[in-house]
Amino acid sequence: MKEEIYRNGPIVVSFEPAEDFMFYSGGIYKTAPTTSGTLKVLRKHIDYDQEWERVDHAVLCVGYGEEDGQKYWLIQNSWGEDWGEDGFFRMAMGTDESGVEGCPEAADVVEDEQGGKQVAALFAENAALAKEL
């Protein structure tokens, strides 16, 4: 993830945060401990033969850093500038916090040299298939 961000820019990451994430206002996010002192593990619904990881939120990871010895991902959320740190948050790195390191996605942007003809053809094909159904 770090190499992709360094070489090519932001990547998309998906995760499944605990309920306390909605109330994040600053700092490096880690799932809050329960009253018993153990960490909540909400995302560990894993069947060993499944090919996917449970997530319910996708965001843009734009960088990384370290504060007081704690490494973190710098992530832009989609909830606006009034949330978190001006629309961004920092999430603990190296522990797959909330599954954020489990399924990052990168893309190479390619200029459309055909003026949208391929997109129009795709929509036309999908419309024709829909009529057949």
Domain extent, residue 11, equals 2-132
> H/E/C letters for each residue in the chain?
CHHHHHHHCCEEEEECCCHHHHHCCCCEECCCECCCCCECCCCCCCCCCCCCCCCCEEEEEEEEEEECCEEEEEEECCCCCCCCECCEEEEECCCCHHHCCCCCECCCCCCCCCCCHHHHHHHHHHHHHHHHC
Q: What is the maximal distance between C-alpha atoms in the chain?
A: 61
| Cross-strand partners of 60 | 12, 76
| Digit-coded pLDDT (tens) for 4-15 | 999 999 999 999
Which residue type occupies 46? I
| Digit-coded pLDDT (tens) for 91-129 | 999 999 999 998 899 988 788 888 888 888 889 988 888
CATH assignment of the domain containing 108: 3.90.70.10
| Digit-coded pLDDT (tens) for 10-65 | 999 999 988 899 999 999 999 877 655 555 444 444 555 566 667 789 999 999 99
Tally the residues of the chain.
133
Number of domains in the chain: 1
Q: Is the pTM of this model over 0.75?
A: no
pLDDT of residue 22: 92
